[in-house]
């Protein structure tokens, strides 16, 4: 029995010794078969087209398991710009790229994609050459027009250049105008704020206040404010403001020759030429504010803004579709007879509204100084 048992052991030992190289060769071929391709991405992709679906699924699972192991050991992998570009391009081809992405977050890949778009459009927006787009002759023409015509703005100069067949942008004209018009030195003339402060007692300002009622119809209130006393001189309300109507409002606001020296207004077409002719005949010098410069008429603009913000009664009065009640609100502070307003304004009292830094009111000789109310409004005594 011993000899028989020892013979069987010898046989199994010899078989194992002979089969060991074959098992090693099979293991080596299995590793080579399951090893991912290390060549170029295009070549490996072309090689994968000839493989079976089962082989690709097995390799995918094997690679996923390795990525899981690496994700537990490597906290932050280092990726080159080429790696980021490849991942961004491959993510467009895979539907479930969010679930397959393990080394970075999906938001990081989206950020790389946006950065790629930024670089692409930056390269497309870059000019073909770094030489200036405006010729020296055009720059000289802009500076000559700006120097010879001090009252012309960028839009006017741009229009004159278009008449000559030269097309440039507004910013280009403004950039080259600075060399022809150096800044005014300090003390040379007076600014607009200084002019208003010196002539506030003989200057009026007018503007329109538009109110929409509940039926979505507009009411236009024409207001004239005295800059010296901050008093509403005249209020007129209508649904259809015409040049003749606005001229009549100026005529009613200046009875018996009681007119100011200056009248500030904007470039609205509602005034018309007859308004200017009446002002000239009355001895009033018209001062038009520049286009898109509401701060030139800051006193009137701030008063209208205060009416819109802190006095919603004009809107409620407009719902009654009666223009006279809107005028009653602006003069007396109430829209309905018999009700008490929160801040009543009897006729003749100076209207209160927030202070403007550029137009602070100073007391005149023989008058009491203005005081500041708790709501931040300035009110002048009679």
Contact predicate 195/205, CB 8 Å:
no
Per-residue confidence in pLDDT tens, the chain, 382 aa: 445 556 666 777 878 777 888 878 877 776 666 555 555 555 566 667 777 888 777 777 777 776 777 766 667 777 888 888 888 887 877 777 777 777 778 888 888 888 888 888 888 887 665 556 788 899 999 999 999 988 888 999 999 999 999 999 899 999 998 888 877 666 667 788 889 999 999 999 999 998 887 777 888 999 999 999 888 899 998 989 999 999 999 999 998 888 999 999 999 999 999 999 999 999 999 999 988 888 899 988 988 888 877 665 555 454 444 556 556 656 554 333 333 333 444 444 333 333 333 333 344 444 444 333 333 333 333 3
User: What's 295's DSSP letter?
Assistant: G
The dihedral built from the CA positions of residue 311, 315, 318 and 323, taken in this order, carries a sign that is positive
DSSP string, 248-269: HHHHHHSGGG---SEEEE---T
What is the CATH architecture assignment of 193-379?
Answer: 2-Layer Sandwich (3.30)
Residue 9's pLDDT is what?
A: 67
Domain map (residue ranges) of the chain: 1-34+53-67, 79-124, 136-180, 193-379
Contact predicate 263/205, CB 8 Å:
yes
The verdict on pTM exceeding 0.75 is no
Burial of 303 (0-12, 13-18, 19+ CB in 10 A): buried
Residue 7's pLDDT is what?
A: 63
């Amino acid at each position: 029995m011993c000899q028989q048992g020892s013979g069987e052991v010898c046989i199994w030992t010899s078989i194992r010794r002979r089969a060991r190289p074959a098992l090693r060769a099979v293991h080596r071929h299995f590793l080579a078969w399951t090893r991912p391709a290390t060549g170029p991405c295009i070549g490996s992709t072309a090689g994968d087209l000839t493989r079976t679906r089962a082989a690709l699924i097995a390799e995918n699972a094997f690679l996923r398991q390795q990525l899981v192991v690496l994700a537990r050991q490597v906290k932050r992998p280092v990726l080159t710009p080429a790696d980021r570009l490849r991942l961004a391009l491959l993510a467009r081809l895979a539907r479930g790229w969010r679930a397959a992405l393990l080394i970075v977050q999906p938001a990081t890949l989206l950020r790389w994609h946006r950065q790629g778009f930024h670089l692409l459009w930056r390269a497309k927006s870059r000019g073909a050459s770094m030489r200036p787009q405006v010729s020296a002759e055009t720059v000289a023409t802009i500076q000559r027009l700006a120097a010879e015509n001090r009252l012309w703005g960028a839009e006017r100069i741009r229009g004159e250049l278009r008449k000559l067949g030269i097309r440039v942008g507004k910013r280009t004209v403004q950039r080259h105008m600075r060399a022809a018009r150096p800044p005014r030195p300090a003390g040379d003339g007076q600014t607009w704020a200084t002019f208003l402060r010196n002539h506030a007692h003989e200057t009026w300002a007018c503007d329109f206040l538009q109110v929409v009622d509940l039926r979505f119809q507009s009411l236009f209130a024409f207001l004239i404010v005295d800059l010296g006393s901050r008093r509403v001189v005249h209020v007129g309300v209508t649904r259809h403001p015409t040049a003749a109507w606005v001229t009549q409002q100026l005529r009613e606001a200046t009875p018996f020759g009681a007119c100011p020296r200056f009248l500030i207004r904007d470039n609205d077409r509602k005034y018309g030429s007859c308004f200017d002719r009446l002002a000239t005949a009355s001895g009033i010098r018209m001062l038009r504010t520049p286009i898109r410069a509401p701060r030139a008429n800051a006193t009137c603009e701030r008063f209208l803004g205060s009416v819109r913000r802190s006095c919603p009664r004009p809107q409620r009065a407009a719902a009654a579709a009666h223009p006279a009640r809107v005028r009653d609100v602006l003069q007396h502070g109430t829209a309905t007879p018999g009700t008490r307003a929160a801040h009543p304004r009897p006729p003749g009292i100076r209207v209160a509204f927030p202070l403007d830094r550029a137009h602070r009111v100073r007391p005149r000789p023989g008058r009491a100084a203005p005081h500041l109310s708790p709501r931040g409004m300035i009110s002048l005594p009679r």
